[in-house]
Amino acid sequence: MTIKYLKDVSVDGKKVLLRVDYNVPYDKQMSITDDTRITATVPTIQHCIDRKATIILVSHLGRPKGKPVPEMSLKPVARKLTEVLKREVKFIETPLGEKLKAEIDALPAGSIVLLENIRFYPGEEKNDKELGKQLASLCDVYVDDAFAAAHRGHSSNDAITQYVKECAAGFLLQDEIEYFKKAMEKPERPLGAIIGGAKVSSKLEALNNIIPKVNFIIIGGGMAFTFLKAKGMEVGKSILEEELVGTAKDIMKNAESKGVELLLPVDVVIAKAFENESPRQVVPVDKIPADSIGLDIGPESVKLFSKKIKSAKTVIWNGPMGAFEMPNFAAGTNQIAETIANSALLSIVGGGDSVTAVNQAGVSEKISYISTGGGAFLELLEGKKLPAIVALDK
């Protein structure tokens, strides 16, 4: 790839259109409940501030389907960003067009503005070239720092690059690219992947893509029961994709043929109902009662997985080990997070649930890199090229 990074581009005194991903959660009072995606862009913004650039921030929020939705306004984000940066971030509601361009051109050098939700425009998700051209007319330099949206080719991260001479990846996007390269292209081995979550179907492409690249794969979460079923075990009322049992067998055979160790749980925490207060019991994976649900990996599985993780030099984690959103079934996920955090290895965690898990376990500061992208991170694991990154590759 020949992507330019922000450090390679001059933004001194220029107008910089910075595509960020401020698709952040709100509560009923319209207060932001998690500002991780906002604070993650601060280094890129500060770099531009230090060089007296005028910064035009562009983001989406939610799925307004091409029309204004007041509840999806980015106005609260401008307020939050003003707090974070300790300097004014002006919120601009003026629609794209000559009036907005004149407003931008009249800004004092060094101003920071946030435009209204770009998905209020029907052309955004259609990757409309005219919309991309309108955005491009506002700036001298385009910088993309929105990895979490990189798997979508839209006007604000794809079409725009055709009309701006100088395009670059911001520091956040640079880290996402470079850390993934370290893990999957030239890793320090042994390289392990920990894949969890509810369903095999959502991780099928990722599993098939990483098998030739890793030394071992640990499988946990609800998806493990499809693999256990493929090994001839009964899984009770646990999550099961019956139609993928044959596929799970093929994945295990493929891993074996390539010398990749595939580890499954050896015991699980079961309950009669998918409820936090439901009485728990630990059983071997071949002893799951017909009326019970597997909701977490058991202590012996934690020991098995932890020993393997400690033997690695590089680990990628995507997906929890169980129903960790319920405190009584979070132990397995929390303990795996702690093992990764306390091991001498390069650790990369991606996917919304996995990121929540390391935060919940209180070990996020000990993880080498936490990806800001859910779908984008998974598509990289699947071996796909992300449209927004391809667009920067001049």
298 is catalytic: no
Give the integer Cα–Cα distance in Å for 333 and 318.
11
**Exactly one of 51, 101, 199, 313 is catalytic; which is it?**
199
Angle at 309 between CA 366 and CA 179, to 5 degrees: 55
362 is catalytic: no
37 is catalytic: yes
**Distance between start and end Cα atoms, the chain:** 8
294 is catalytic: no
Phi, psi dihedral angles at 287 (to 5 degrees) = -130, 30
Give the integer Cα–Cα distance in Å for 361 and 317.
14
**Exactly one of 14, 15, 19, 37 is catalytic; which is it?**
37
**Exactly one of 66, 110, 153, 375 is catalytic; which is it?**
375
**Exactly one of 62, 66, 153, 352 is catalytic; which is it?**
352
Give the integer Cα–Cα distance in Å for 261 and 192.
9
The residues annotated as belonging to the active site are 37, 199, 352, 375
